[in-house]
Amino acid sequence: MSEQPNPGPGHIRVTMPDKLAGGDYADFVRVWHGKDIFTLDFAALVGPMGADGTTARVVSRVRIPPSQVFEIMKALERSLTAWEKEHGSPG
Percentage of the chain lying above the pLDDT 90 cut: 71
- HEC secondary structure over 11-38: CCCCEECHHHCCCCCCCEEEEEECCCCE
> pLDDT tens-digit profile of 25-68?
999 999 999 999 999 999 999 988 888 888 999 999 999 999 99
- What's the rounded Cα separation, in Å, for the pair 68 and 15? 19
Find the range with the poorest average confidence among 3-7, 45-49, 82-86. 3-7
- What's the rounded Cα separation, in Å, for the pair 58 and 27? 10
Q: Name the pTM for this structure.
A: 0.76
Find the range with the poorest average confidence among 11-15, 33-37, 70-74. 11-15
